Chain A
Amino acid sequence: DGGITQSPKYLFRKEGQNVTLSCEQNLNHDAMYWYRQDPGQGLRLIYYSQIVNDFQKGDIAEGYSVSREKKESFPLTVTSAQKNPTAFYLCASSEGLAGSSYNEQFFGPGTRLTVL
């Protein structure tokens, strides 16, 4: 099956701990993204990566970090510096950058992070 996977589906962490969310795709897509979703709000872009070993900050990058060592993987670390980390996190990928025509974004099932 081709697709984009995120794990785990639910994650609980204590305040002050860093936590890493996994995102893997086997669609051979160059571009990958991380979004945060809060109730009543649209998706907000955290980081995106156009190509391996390159990534750019989105609108709300503070308190997050990413890496893109492999084309198929784009893990997101939520650090203790993120003031309000409890949210639903969505990973996505596309052949090229999402804003370009014909570059549909495919989303993973999401990870719900709860910081206690």
Chain B
Amino acid sequence: GENVEQHPSTLSVQEGDSAVIKCTYSDSASNYFPWYKQELGKGPQLIIDIRSNVGEKKDQRIAVTLNKTAKHFSLHITETQPEDSAVYFCAASLGNNNDMRFGAGTRLTVKP
């Protein structure tokens, strides 16, 4: 079945620096890759997603890249701010399109 690995598990950056979180997946039929941000005590919220017919997508300070050949995708946050501090999850759809598998999460801390 699908296996999603996410690294690093924790990441600490200085305000203004960039943060990169990486995920790999195993199911070559996966075609949808969302990223979620979860703040303390709340449910995850979608921040950006990418589909397999696109290699990169950008939304202001957030970008996601996808390498289908290598089966990995990454989240890039530029000009980080303290309010970016949260746990970030990647996910990949299963080839049967019935549901998704989530990475274990990355706790990002942005120090002012």
Contact = CB atoms under 8 A, between A and B. Distances in A.
Interface of A: 4, 6, 33, 40-45, 48, 56, 58, 90, 92, 97-101, 104-110
A93 B94 CA distance: 17
Interface in B25-77: 31-32, 34, 36, 41-46, 49, 51
B4 A97 contact: no
Contacts of A33: 99
A98 B100 contact: yes
Given A97-B99, A100-B32, A90 B44 contact: yes
B101 to A, nearest CB: 7
B43 A42 contact: no
Interface of B: 4, 6, 9, 31-32, 34, 36, 41-46, 49, 51, 89, 93-94, 96-105
A110 B39 CA distance: 12
B92 to A, nearest CB: 9
Nearest to A110: B43
A109 B4 contact: no
Contacts of B34: 104-105
B51 A101 contact: yes
